[in-house]
Amino acid sequence: HGVNADEAAPKSNIVTRSGTMLHLLEQVKLLGPTQVNVLISGASGTGKELLAQAIHQHSHVSNGPFVAINCGAVPGELLESELFGHKKGSFTGAIKDHQGLFQQAEGGTLFLDEIGDMPLNLQVKLLRVLQEKTIRPVGFQEEIAIDVRIVSATHKNLPEAILSQQFREDLYYRLNVVNLKLPPLCERREDISLLAQHFSASIAKRMKQTEKHFASDAMHALVRYDWPGNIRQLQNVVEQVVALTPSDVISEHLVLAALNSNETNVEPLSLNDAKKEFERDYVINTLKMAGGNVAEGAKLAKRNRSDFYKLIKKHNIDVDNLG
């Protein structure tokens, strides 16, 4: 199966045998020991944080902290004190001194995810920090020296954002000394089976259960699919089918039902909602295949009839009108 992930990247949690990815990991090994700023670009769910961690693990600050923040997930007015810290009383709600992420990452790596979502006023401040290597927490008079490696990531096209004046060109050149492009999952199909089995094994370990394997036609279905939500979506689907497989072998039928219910829903649901929605779709699809016959449906689902009947009742499914 080509190179094993463990051989290719002794210091990374990235599971791959794809040529593109192995080449990327080679670059990470070379970049790690340098201090250059790295910008990782790639679609949502492609594993940008894992790659940032790999850069950290290969760096001379690998024993220092790795601190991550998603710049798009924190409201602009809070982002400044999250990053730089604040002094008690510097604004309403600042009830004590707060150490920002730059200081928490001292002697290590700060990962700025979705840097393209950072408001312009903060981009100016970040640029100053990169130039001066000092920060000033909100409400403080004096500057504090910092020693932090910056790795940033984006799913946006930053050159376009520069043209529409949503991103500062000078900051872009500071952050983008080296650019690593993460391919979408559909461009590393040889990794899909590796990743699916890896996720299944992790779940088994976490739940202290025996590991579930994919029937070969079930695995083919995963490999053929295009994964618009990338690795994160694959992980969601594996979580669903593992949770709903009564035996140790995951069937193609179950995988296809999961991909169907996932189609309309690339945004991740909570695991409970996903399971419910998926279970309902699964029961309906099974009943359709069984021509509306509950006993037949139960056989297909490898459940006894009363169990299967309970599922039908639980999801208010009208057996005579399956749509």
CA distances to 85, 196, 254, 294 from 246, rounded to whole Å, are 50, 18, 11, 18
Phi, psi angles (nearest 5°) of residue 316: 50, 50
pLDDT tens figures, 17-73: 999 999 999 999 999 888 899 999 999 999 999 999 999 999 999 999 999 999 999
Q: Are residues 245 and 303 in contact, defined by beta-carbon separation less than 8 angstroms?
A: no
Phi, psi angles (nearest 5°) of residue 144: -120, 125
Mean pLDDT (the chain) is: 89
The conformation of residue 299, written as its DSSP 8-state character, comes to: H
> Where is pLDDT greater, at 14 or 276?
14
Distance CA 209, CA 77 (A): 45
Distance CA 1, CA 22 (A): 13
Strand partners, 39: 152, 179
Is residue 75 very low, low, confident or very high in pLDDT (cuts 50, 70, 90)? confident
pLDDT tens figures, 260-318: 876 655 555 567 777 777 788 888 888 887 888 888 888 888 888 888 888 888 888 88
For residue 52, give the nearest of 30, 68, 36 by alpha carbon.
68
pLDDT tens figures, 172-208: 999 999 999 999 999 999 999 999 999 999 999 998 8
The conformation of residue 98, written as its DSSP 8-state character, comes to: B
Comparing 5-183 with 187-314, is the CATH topology the same? Answer: no
Tokens describing residue 46: 């492609």
Q: What is the pTM of this model?
A: 0.76
SS3 state at 176: coil
| CATH fold of 187-314 | Helicase, Ruva Protein; domain 3 (1.10.8)
Name the residue ranges covered by the structural domains of the chain: 5-183, 187-314
Given 3.90.480.10, 3.40.50.300, 3.90.640.10, 3.30.565.10, which CATH number is that of 5-183?
3.40.50.300
- Neighbouring C-beta atoms of residue 299, cutoff 10 Å: 15
Taking the alpha carbons at both ends of the chain, their separation in whole angstroms is 44
